[in-house]
């Protein structure tokens, strides 16, 4: 088992139980105590768990949509306005379920003959106010905390389409990659990347240099990274 797989299992265990013991993990995963401690060091570095004597406890839970939507709101609106300038009449675009991407709705409302695909229930409902935009909601398992559809069914539905432009968010950005906290969300975003000709990542600067647990993709595979300060190339 690779370290990344082991660390994912540990993170899921902590998330589910709230606490884990080094001795239990060593026995269950069949690796040494020092190996488990190194895994916990790495997970703590990413702010996923907090180490305690003999084990670890959960430190982070994904915030609900309403709370994430107001966090760094001014920056998100600025990013969304910049990104919306890339949307043209007659485009076929994909808007993922990120709260920064959600802010694009008010900026693209006057586009003509624009088709929007989205896995965000919030975005789909907001777009219903604009009959000039054709909206397609991707079906799949609903993730209540984010109002997003994710998982195998969502991925299969996404792969039926091709889009000109994809706009997506992330929970963190590393030296060469961008990440999220949930593996099902990561797989769903990866499917979006596969069907898009142009791929735009929308992240506020507070997330740069702070990768979370699951890699979605490499920065070099993106068309642009858009922050509140700049529009960057595929590599930061």
Domains of the chain: 3-58 (1.10.10.10), 65-232 (3.40.50.1360)
Question: Which has the closest alpha carbon to 203: 65, 109, 76?
Answer: 76
For position 19, what pLDDT does the model report? Answer: 85
Give the contacts of 131 (CB within 8 A, at least 6 positions apart).
none
- 8-17: average pLDDT: 84
What confidence score (pLDDT) does residue 16 get?
A: 75
Sign of CA dihedral 63, 60, 97, 183: negative
Q: What is the pLDDT of residues 184-202, one digit of tens each?
A: 899 999 999 999 999 999 9
Q: Check whether 236 has a pLDDT greater than 50.
A: no
Confidence grade of residue 46 (pLDDT, cut at 50, 70, 90): confident
pLDDT for residue 235 is more than 50: no
Confirm if 1 and 36 have CB atoms less than 8 A apart: no
pTM of the model: 0.78
- The confidence score (pLDDT) of residue 194 equals 98
Residue pLDDT, tens place only, 81-130: 999 999 999 999 999 999 999 999 999 999 999 999 999 999 999 999 99
């Amino acid at each position: 088992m690779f370290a990344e797989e082991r660390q994912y299992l540990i993170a899921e265990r902590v998330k589910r139980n709230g606490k884990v013991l080094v001795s239990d993990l060593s026995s269950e995963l069949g690796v040494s105590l020092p190996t488990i401690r190194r895994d916990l060091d790495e997970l703590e570095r990413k702010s996923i768990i907090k180490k305690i004597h003999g084990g670890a406890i959960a430190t982070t839970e994904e915030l609900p949509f309403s709370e994430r939507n107001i966090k760094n709101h001014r920056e998100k609106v600025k990013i969304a306005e910049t990104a919306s300038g890339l949307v043209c009449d007659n485009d076929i675009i994909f808007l993922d379920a990120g709260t920064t991407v959600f802010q694009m709705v008010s900026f693209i409302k006057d586009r003509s003959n624009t088709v929007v695909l989205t896995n965000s229930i919030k975005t789909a409902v907001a777009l219903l106010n604009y009959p000039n935009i054709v909206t397609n909601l991707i079906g799949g398992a609903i993730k209540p905390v984010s109002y997003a559809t994710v998982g195998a069914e969502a991925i299969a539905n996404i792969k039926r389409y091709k889009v000109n432009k994809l706009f997506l968010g992330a929970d963190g950005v590393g030296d060469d990659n961008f990440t999220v906290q949930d593996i099902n969300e990561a797989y769903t975003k990866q499917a979006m990347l596969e069907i898009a000709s142009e791929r735009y990542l929308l992240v506020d600067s507070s997330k740069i240099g702070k990768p979370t647990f699951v890699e979605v993709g490499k920065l070099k595979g993106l068309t642009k990274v858009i922050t509140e300060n700049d529009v960057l190339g595929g590599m930061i």
